[in-house]
Chain A
């Protein structure tokens, strides 16, 4: 029977491929980091670093890598630029198979818990990588913890603030930026009336709706109580505030694709007077025609909700070491170097990032009004729920938030549908409440 032979041949091939794939040699590098701690200069070898920073930021990091190699001539660092959009999935694929994963990766603070939960990240407590822990700001540090272990070293932090066009404010006769969302709407109306410039444009991403939620005392989840709280009455109220903005003629209709770019472009071209954005956008704004004169860019804290309290989410990046790294000693030294106050000060000065170390907010850094303003904005920021896959919450959140802002569903129905989707797909052990 001919078929029999084919089957036998296939079986043989399968056996071959199975063994070929199974041959997993978990690199048995010295994981203690003892060498790095006791005699850093003796550490040698090469490490790969996946850097997710953008093109404009690249040269600064190249400079830092060069400085590191000068200090540790025996270590070679290969900075590999990985696009931020793809880094999370790319790292997961590489980390799981153990092939091609980097020794050090720059992770978004939202990824840390997810990676750590799957066992991909090396706990850094007690290693040279985590140097002078007390110096870190508590908010960013909390994003790097998982199950009581520190799995990342905060590199940069950010939060959302209210950016505004001072010239337009002056023309409309408004003295100071709005402190609450009600004031925000009133300000936008006045600006439209007096100058013809539209008040604002919302970015229809879930992340950018968090200030509305926080302002009403709501949150996406109650992690300790294992509850999905986004659809609470406070949450609904928050969405109504956001909706009120888009429905009044003081805001441009949010763009549903590339919403971030659309809003940012409208702001820097001077088409809208205010925008909610983070410190990373400042240098981009300076390139727009409205802010050729840098002094024209005003930065204030995020407006408060009806509770009178304001809060914005903390974002940023951590450095993490891959658990399967073959050269952890070098990786620790590199992370330590890159997150040092000196390195943070340099990146803050050159590429407008906010340091995560108290000591890096030197006079030279805070001399820049934008950084000073965002340092101030950090005082009203809070960490997002630290759970694995918090980023995936936002995929669903974005879709429902868009529908709410478009008026396709009411805030209440939209949030309920969102809570249900989280509950059935991502947070099965949570209750909706």
Chain B
């Protein structure tokens, strides 16, 4: 113990300037991230809700009466007692996987096209980045209008070719396809731009050398382009996964509150717990921590997998 203190003192004596420099960052992070996170973890071990949390309203004072319940909340959720966790987790995973897959493949395709020398390339680039520039909630409302069963443009087009109206946002299955389509539309531009950047960083000489060796376009793509894109791809897939897993506005705004709870993902459900009825702070916090843990575990495994792949090569 004494050596620890001595070491700390020594470290501080030599590096006090560095400590002073990072202090503002530490303070800001603690306030913006540390405190809410700590509070969330704490709440997830209690049975706090809107009715039993302490509050003072004018002359009316209600003391806090919630208590510490240990791991009860987690057990409640993970044992399946609560009933909605596992089905929702399944759908959240399916949603994330299909969205990220579509984002990546379509983004890659578009990036390859834009990387060629074609007329008006910069115009296409600007046009294709547009969806990304539109705020998510604007996109959500615009799509909601297009999906409208009676007056939407999609059903009007279908009607022109003689197909009956589709209940885009009604049937639970079609509902899921609809939100995936919206999110794909929204997410492709980011992937495309990132991959385009990656493509441009691949040295031209590699392609020339491959061509000299008589590699077919497909072989060049597999053995030069894809490995060259790996650093970019791994980062954007990881980012895309985390974003999509927690993509709140699309699900919440396109499907809305009515319609059906089946298409809700974990975060929108956690939101409902926190902001509906007698607000269930504990339950919502527990969901939040579970979501965070899932993403952490995923990130660690994903990073590990990439490292192993790199090492294998």
Contact = CB atoms under 8 A, between A and B. Distances in A.
Contacts of A392: 276-277
A335 B278 CA distance: 27
Interface in B173-218: none
Interface stretch (B31-39, B123-131, B286-294): B31-39
A13 B62 CA distance: 27
Nearest to A28: B59
Interface string B40-58: 0000000000110101111
A399 B276 CA distance: 15
A258 B144 CA distance: 10
Interface string A6-42: 1001100110010000001011110100000000000
A4 B26 CA distance: 13
B249 interface: no
A395 B147 CA distance: 22
Contacts of A24: 56
B1 to A, nearest CB: 10
B279 interface: yes
B170 A98 contact: no
Contacts of B279: 92
B149 A255 contact: yes
Interface band, chain B: 35 or more
Given A205-B258, A258-B148, A27 B58 contact: yes
Contacts of B51: 117-118
Contact of B59 (A26, A205, A265, A425): A26
A92 B55 CA distance: 12
Given A89-B275, A323-B60, A395-B257, A257 B11 contact: no
A114 B51 CA distance: 10
A142 B167 CA distance: 40
Nearest to A89: B275
Contacts of B30: 9-10, 13-14
Contacts of B60: 119, 323-324
B53 to A, nearest CB: 8
B57 A5 contact: no
B277 A389 contact: yes
A262 B150 contact: yes
Contacts of A6: 26
Contacts of A253: 167
Interface in A193-211: 204-205
A256 B169 contact: yes
A424 B84 CA distance: 12
Contacts of B276: 392, 395
A130 B38 CA distance: 46
Contacts of B255: 257
A10 B30 CA distance: 6
Contacts of B58: 26-29, 31, 122, 322-325
A317 to B, nearest CB: 20
Contacts of A89: 275
Contact of B38 (A14, A324, A399): A14
A28 B26 CA distance: 38
A399 B144 CA distance: 19
B178 to A, nearest CB: 10
A272 to B, nearest CB: 12
Interface string B93-115: 00000000000000000000000
A388 B277 CA distance: 8
A257 B50 contact: no
Contact of B150 (A13, A95, A255): A255
B57 A256 contact: no
Nearest to A16: B31
A10 B27 CA distance: 7
Contacts of A266: 150
B27 A9 contact: yes
B278 A256 contact: no
B256 to A, nearest CB: 6
A214 B277 CA distance: 25
B312 interface: no
Interface of B: 4, 7-8, 11-12, 19, 23, 26-27, 30-31, 34-35, 38, 50-51, 53, 55-62, 83, 144, 147-151, 167, 169-171, 255-261, 275-279
10 contacts: A9-B23, A9-B26, A9-B27, A10-B30, A96-B50, A114-B278, A117-B51, A323-B58, A324-B58, A402-B259
The 4 closest A-B pairs by CB, nearest first: A256-B170, A324-B58, A392-B277, A13-B30
Given A257-B259, A406-B170, 20 more contacts: A4-B4, A9-B23, A10-B30, A10-B34, A14-B38, A17-B31, A24-B56, A28-B58, A31-B59, A119-B62, A120-B57, A204-B258, A257-B149, A323-B58, A324-B58, A324-B60, A389-B278, A398-B257, A402-B170, A425-B277
